[in-house]
Every structure is written in structure tokens, then in C-alpha cells.
Amino acid sequence: MAVYTEVNDEELERFLERYGIGDLMSFKGIAEGVENTNYMLHTTSGSFILTLYEKRVDTADLPFFLGLMEHLAERGVSCPLPVRDSAGNNLNELCGRTAALITFLEGFCIKRPQPTHCAELGRALARFHLAGNGFPLSRTNALGPPGWPPLFSGFADDADQIAAGLRGEIETEINWLATSWPTGLPEGVIHADLFPDNVFFISDKLSGVIDFYFACNDFLSYDIAICINAWCFEDDYSFNVTKARALLKSYNDGRQLTDEECAALPILARGAALRFLLTRCYDWLNTPAGAIVKPHDPLAYLRRLRFHQRVSSIAEYGYEHS
């Protein structure tokens, strides 16, 4: 989440007139994240998140994202819900941007996840994958392997400004993954961005999942690989095998991993690390001047990638598959 588009009181009040959510009491920009403009709203009937969709989001994908939230909520997954206006629409326009109003989800993000939080995440991710069955819409993962070369080409000439030799290292990895990427693994709807700031807790219990704007159809185990990258490394970039073991075990308790998924996990983890290295590099070099957002350090994902390059088995993530 971030703030790229400024909204004033009058514009917002006119926008809210079409929704039956009471009078506006206060609103404030949310600076975290990198994709869309987000505001926290408080009205006389409750709290909401207002999202204005910026250029990276294809508005043709929005029915998938918003419909998925409704589909998952109907099947017991705790997540925000789009608010429909008096005409039944869950999308409108504000300040020249397509915009949606989303219910507020109680809870807080864990800044330093512990193994207990990773176990909660694994259980929730398994429920998410099972609940996604039957969702009638589909969306290709635009940031999967076919999308990596064109994304890289957008900053390749400047990559060595971030770190010496980075361009060559990324090129080598893209080429290796292009010939090594697995096929035939179980597929379905994945979240594809389940970082700690997109998962809420109350005490040590997971209270819900937010931010579905990278959700797509892909290998279910690729979602696990993304979570291992996001949740199982410490601030000094060391890998915490206890956290990974807790995540994988609790996921497998909810949805059993296949032998093929287990064998492919180190490759999927490399791909997930590369995907976030690429987008972080791009954002590091291209974040608009004046945006209320701090781009994430891309080198954190270069270090993760180098770790996964040395992994040959899921056992090295602390999990013995039987």
C-alpha cells in the first residue's frame, strides 16, 4: 500500500455519497507498500480502506481481485470485502483513478514473525488454496517466468547501479530458471504476495489476509515458496529453519503436498526470490518523485536468491516429506 494520488475532502465526500456508510469523520494516507494509493477512512458507521488503482494495476483484472475476496469470504477465509454502492457497483472513479472501498479488517502485522506465526500462516495458506477451488475467473501470473525477461529489460542497463555485477547475476539466473522451471504441479488460485504486512494477527492467532492485487492462477507450491522467502529469513539475512519447518508442516496438515511439489520447492524458492528481486530493483530505480512510499531494498532478495541456489532438497528447509 502507498499514496501516489492525493485526495481532498470535497472529492472524497462526493465519492462516498453513493455508499451508505454514513458521514466521513477522518481519513489518512497509508504509506506502506508500493502498488496502489490507499487511505484509511473512518465514518459514522465504521472503518474502511479506500484504494485508488495506479498504473501498474490493469483495471481489467479488478473483477478477478474483488470477486476472489467475495468467493473466499463465503468459504470461511477471513479477508476484507468490497463495499457495493447503492447501484450494486464495487468499482467507481475518484481523482481520475478507478477506486474501491473495502471493509477494514481488525488485527495487526507481525514485525518479527516467530515459528508460531509461521505455523498459523501455513494453516491459513492451505485453507486459502482449498477455498479457491471453484472460483470461476482466472488470471495469468504476469510476474511468473515469462514475465521476468521483459521486466528485467526495463532496468538492466542500470542494474549495476544497485550492486556491482548485478546485471550478469540476474541474467544467469533467468536463463537457468527458464530451463529448470517445473511443470505439471497442482495449480489453483494463489495470493502471490503474502508478506507479513499482508497478514493480520490478534495476539498470536491469525485474524485475516489482505491485499489480493497480485492474486492469480499458478502452482500452489509457488505460493509456499513466496512465503518461505518472506517469513523465514532474519534481519541479518540468515535462514531460520525452525520457521520454515513450522510453515511447511502446518500447510501439509491442511493440504498434503505431493512428492513432485516437495522436489520442486528449492527451484520455486529461487524463482520467488528472483521475482521480488526484479520488482524491487525496478521500483528502486523508478519510484516517482514525491510519492509517499519508500522502495524496498532489492539486495535483501539477492541474498535470499543466493541462499536458495545452494539448496538441493526440501529437507534443507527443515521438512522431511514422507
Query: What domains are there in the chain, each with its CATH number?
Result: 9-103 (3.30.200.20), 115-317 (3.90.1200.10)
Res 208: pLDDT: 97
- Read off φ and ψ for residue 205, nearest 5 degrees: -105, 135
The CA-atom distances, in angstroms, between 289 and each of 5, 6, 294 are: 12, 14, 11
Identify whether the C-beta of residue 268 lies closer than 8 Å to the C-beta of residue 182. Answer: yes
Burial code (b: 16+ CB inside 10 Å, e: under 16) for 165-195 equals ebbebbeebbeebeeebbeebeebbbbbbbb
The confidence band for 5, taking pLDDT boundaries of 50, 70 and 90, is confident
Question: Which tops the pLDDT comparison, 29 or 304?
Answer: 304
C-alpha angle with apex 131: 216 to 246, nearest 5 degrees?
Answer: 90
The average pLDDT across 135-164 equals: 97
Res 263: pLDDT: 97
Tens-place pLDDT, residues 53-105: 987 678 899 999 999 999 999 999 999 999 999 999 999 999 989 999 999 99
Res 108: pLDDT: 94
pLDDT at 213 over 50: yes
Residues facing 29 on adjacent strands = 39
The average pLDDT across 269-286 equals: 96
The CA-atom distances, in angstroms, between 252 and each of 48, 184, 194, 262 are: 34, 19, 17, 11
Q: Is the C-alpha dihedral spanning 35, 193, 89, 107 positive or negative?
A: negative
pLDDT at 300 over 50: yes
Q: Which residues contact 170 (CB under 8 A, 6 or more apart)?
A: 152, 156, 159, 274, 277, 278, 281
Alpha carbons 190 and 207: distance in angstroms, whole number: 19
Per DSSP, the chain holds a count of helices (H) and strands (E) of: 9, 9
User: What is the arrangement of strands in the sheet containing 24-29, beginning at the earlier edge strand?
Assistant: 24-29, 37-43, 46-52, 97-103, 92-94
Rama region for 290: left / alpha / beta (φ>0; ψ in -120 to 50; rest): left
The confidence band for 1, taking pLDDT boundaries of 50, 70 and 90, is very low
Alpha carbons 72 and 287: distance in angstroms, whole number: 32
> 30 is written with which cell numbers?
497509508
Alpha carbons 290 and 244: distance in angstroms, whole number: 38
